[in-house]
Structure 1
Amino acid sequence: MEKKYLLNPPQQPEVKILDSLFAEMVLDKALLNFRKEQIQKEIDHSLQNKNKEEFMRLTEELKNIS
């Protein structure tokens, strides 16, 4: 009997669910890191412009997502 090698062998439903959850967690983490970097840049900008209100709002937002 000839052995078949598949690029994507069939998986159990549980494995597919775990793969999906893992992919979602990785994506969520990447998005969170991206947003944190954005906020930090905006904080720097608010400091340069001496915009206290914007600084306070952004630091609060950063605290809430950290």
Structure 2
Amino acid sequence: MDKMKVTYEAMLGLAAEFVLDEAVLKFQTNQIYSAIDKALAAGDEDTFYRLAKQLNALKR
């Protein structure tokens, strides 16, 4: 029974890590989209391309 409990706790840990990773990715993506919008509004082409590159790296 103890082995099953350890396995269950490990699976819960992995599930929690997955949820946290997804939340962090969503937050970072939203932050970059917001910064891209500001760069476009300001006409800042260099910042736009830098942020677009960061966004593409996150999606891989």
Q: Judge same fold: TM > 0.5, yes or no.
A: yes
- RMSD of the alignment, in Å? 1.3
Q: Deviations over 1:8-57 (max 9, x none)?
A: xx871000000000000000000000000000000000000000000000
What is the aligned counterpart of 1:15 among 8, 12, 29?
8
Which of 1 and 2 has greater Rg? 1
What is the CA–CA distance in structure 2 between the aligned matches of 1:14 and 1:38, rounded to whole Å?
36
Distance in structure 2 (CA, Å) of the matches to 1:49 and 1:12: 55
Is residue 36 from structure 1 mapped to residue 29 from structure 2 by the alignment?
Answer: yes
Q: 5+ unaligned residues in a row in structure 2: which ranges?
A: none
Alignment size in residue pairs? 57
The sequence identity of aligned pairs, in percent, is 32
Structure with the higher fraction of residues in helix conformation: 2
Runs of 4+ in structure 1 off by over 4 angstroms are none
Residue 60 of structure 1 aligns to a residue in which SS?
Answer: helix
Please, which of 19, 25, 48 is the counterpart of residue 55 of structure 1? Answer: 48
TM score, norm. by length of structure 1 = 0.83
